[in-house]
Amino acid sequence: MWADGSKYSGNWFENKIHGRGHYEWVDGRTYEGDWLENNMDGFGTYTWPDGRVYIGEYSKGRKHG
């Protein structure tokens, strides 16, 4: 859990979020997918509190593709 109340569960490498994991922001947004050095990177699912969902690729923390 981070100081702002956000939560992460998943893989770590050298004190960075890295590999597969699930992140939940305090406002209800979630991301389940691949991480590379603290950034969403690879394939994942991002969900907003209102029910919208993006399923796809990420690169350096941004939707890609």
Q: pLDDT tens-digit profile of 43-61? A: 999 999 999 999 999 999 9
Residue 2 counted as domain residue: no
Residue 34 counted as domain residue: yes
Residue 46 counted as domain residue: yes
Longest dimension (CA), the chain: 35
d(CA 38, CA 16) in angstroms, rounded, equals 6
Domain extent, residue 59, equals 7-63
Total number of domains constituting the chain: 1
Buried b / exposed e across 53-63, counting CB within 10 Å, b at 16+?
A: eeeebbeeeee
| % of the chain at pLDDT higher than 70 | 100
pTM of the model: 0.91
